[in-house]
Structures are given as structure tokens and as C-alpha cells.
Amino acid sequence: MTGKLLLASIHDVGPKFEREVDQLAELLAGILGGPNFAMLVVPNHWGEAPLAEARAFQQRLRGWAEAGVEMFVHGWFHKDLADHTGLAAFKARHMTASEGEFLGLAQDEAARRMADGRALIEDAIGRPVAGFIAPAWLYGPGAMAALGGSQFALAEDHMKVWQPATGRVLARGPVITWASRTVGRQRSSRFFAALARQALHPLPVARLAVHPGDTTVPALIASIRSTFGAFAERRRAGRYAELLA
């Protein structure tokens, strides 16, 4: 990796949010000068949108991948059905709305979902995936243990990117993202993005992530435009795989 890097990603990619993903892909491509971003693919969002049955969307994923978009496995259902206690309960309640699928999974189940998601997505795109990123960036002990034996090249949480096989941290710093669930979260995410446009420029690697729900709030889209534009002016939009070089 040479120079400061901008890593951009679209989360929750799948047939359930095809229209929103199209809108976000067009927006980011326009700012970043092409498909210089990653897509985080959910194999069956909340059990309502199975990628395995969406042949047309699989072809779209392959086209994006061939154009240079990196593809990550992003859980399986995305939905968290586990009962949590202690710190995990706090995370499940305050950091996400029943979206932290891998927060409470046992190692065997986490490994199975990772492997199944990888097989499905790699079959669709015709090439290896870039890595695994848990829904809501939340990992429980079982998920972390499963990752260690998964042979995924990369993983990411809120504060870092790392190599699962070795634990080596490849980039540090908070992900800049937006929340559309409540007016309060919309305001706080816009405030953080405005602050980050100035405060996070010294980081060697800046990570920005968008979600389908962002498209429903014009004020968030305006903030996304401003934030991506500010970072793109001062660093190169690249690929997560460059962190391995």
C-alpha cells in the first residue's frame, strides 16, 4: 500500500435491497471515479431474500465483481436470534437492532454459516471473496474462533481490519457510517461524519460504509456525498486487498 487509502463499502447487498444498492453504487462510483468500493453480500437477508434463488441478482454480482468491486461475505441471515447476557446483551440492545447475527453463535454454527455463505457467493461471482465481515461488525467468541480457522483473508470490525489466520491488524480507526433507524441516530451519525471529515484525515486508512436505509433520508445522502467527497479529494480510493501487500 502506498499513500493514504480510502476504503468504501456498501453493506447488506442482496436481492432484498436491489434498488437501494443500485442507488448507492451509482452514487459512490460517481464520487470515486468508478467501482472503487466493496460490497458486503448477505446470502438470505432475514430469511426473506435467498440469493440462491435469485439468479438474475447473482449475475449482477458477477458483473460488479468483474468490474473490480470486492465482495465480502456478510453473515448469512443478518438477523440475531440469540439470547444474550452481560456485555453481549448491551451490544445487542444498543449497537444494533437485532442485526448482530454472529454475536451469540457457537463456533460450529458460525463456521457453518461462514462456509455456506462463502461457497454461495464465490459460485455466483466466479472468484474468491475478499473476506468476511459480520453483520453490525459484531463478533462473539464463537465467531472469532470460527474465523481463525476459516481461511478468510480479511475481516473487519468497527475499529480495525485484520487477518483472521494470524490476528495481524492491518488498519486501525473507526468506520465512518450513517444510521437511519431514528431521527436521533441520523443526527448523531451526521455529526460524527462532519467531525470525521476533519479529524480522521491523518489516518493512513479511512473506512466509510453505507447501508440501504441511508437512501431513505435525504439529509444522510447529503452527508454521505460531502464526506466521501472530502476524503476522495485527499486520498486514493482503493481495495481492501491492498492491505495485504
List of domains in the chain: 5-244 (3.20.20.370)
pLDDT at 98: 57
- Under the banding of pLDDT at 50, 70 and 90, the label for residue 3 is confident
Mean pLDDT, residues 54-62: 98
Whether the per-residue pLDDT at 89 is higher than 50: the answer is no
pLDDT at 196: 97
**d(C-alpha 182, C-alpha 176), whole Å:** 18
239 contact partners, CB below 8 Å, separation of at least 6: 7, 36, 38, 68, 70, 130
16-30, 84-98, 103-117, 172-186: which has the minimum mean pLDDT? 84-98
pLDDT in tens, 140-191: 999 999 999 999 999 999 999 999 999 999 999 999 999 998 999 999 999 9
pLDDT at 184: 95
pLDDT at 79: 76
Position with higher pLDDT, 89 vs 2: 2
Residue 40: how many CB atoms within 10 A of its CB? 26
pLDDT at 85: 44
Residue 37 is classified by DSSP as S
Whether the per-residue pLDDT at 6 is higher than 70: the answer is yes
**d(C-alpha 230, C-alpha 31), whole Å:** 10
- Under the banding of pLDDT at 50, 70 and 90, the label for residue 87 is very low
- Under the banding of pLDDT at 50, 70 and 90, the label for residue 66 is very high
67 contact partners, CB below 8 Å, separation of at least 6: 34, 35
